[in-house]
Structure 1
């Protein structure tokens, strides 16, 4: 069975995923845990990697069944057809999220706008542009992949 990408209402990814699972439909919503800070506390929250996107595995004839779930806007289309995502791509995304990107850098030598090549992990060798520098991490825009990532420095405590 092929995987399809669904576009959801903003912040409905978890609800849509839970409701589709209850219907018995194989669904995948890639999530990561982030440390968020408010004025009075810090809290770990789980957020989607791809906001407003959920992946479902269905036969073509059952594609319309997902619209029984509130929060689904539409299928994502490519060249006039619902986009089909290969099993390998879903598995690569799962594998990527299992592995932490470990890299070492010295904050004083890296500046915003500088080119940076990832030195280890599953994205080793991919080049990007530094968009933010903090004392413990870098944000890098990976133009060839079309997204931004954070690299945390394991040398710091």
Structure 2
């Protein structure tokens, strides 16, 4: 009987400005992937730019990592805290959600924790809500998503209920 390995999301580091090429190669190889892009308004047109420069996310069983490594313009799997960065499904969903629902999304790195500090595996926790910005942790990548939101999109959360709209 076959030993079926679970699928997991991994971050893959690409050569500079090769994210789209790598994503296209993954499509041809039938490797499930996600290449998050943000839309920037230029003087004459809207331009797509990678949300995570030099990163593409792949969803594979560990045994198929060789398919990813043998892809042109792939440098290696991204490591975080000396381990391959395995991205939980809910963090990929959070990235998709932010890019779908907000226009101005960016990524900020946070400091690498010391030995005394622990990284929580849950991620997706709102860590700051101020003025017109919201910040959400992506612990598996050591960064946070920052989105500009209008005041009408911010809702008060009391207990386990949301008032006036969605919450995270």
Q: Is TM-score (shorter-chain normalized) higher than 0.5?
A: yes
TM-align CA RMSD: 3.2
Q: 2:8 aligns with which of 2, 7, 14?
A: 2
Per-residue CA shift, 1:83-107, capped at 9, x if unaligned? Answer: 11111110111111111269xxxxx
Aligned twin of 2:40: 34
TM-score (norm 1): 0.64
Per-residue CA shift, 1:2-31, capped at 9, x if unaligned? Answer: 000001111111110011011000000111
Give 5+ residue unaligned stretches, structure 2.
Answer: 1-6, 105-125, 152-168
Aligned twin of 2:21: 15
Aligned twin of 1:126: 129
Give 5+ residue unaligned stretches, structure 1.
Answer: 103-122, 129-137
The answer to whether the 8 A contact 1:141-1:147 is kept is no
Q: CA deviation at 1:149?
A: 4.9
TM-score (norm 2): 0.60
Q: CA deviation at 1:147?
A: 5.7
- Equivalent pairs counted in the alignment come to 121
Runs of 4+ off more than 6 Å: none
Distance 1:90 1:143 in 2: 12
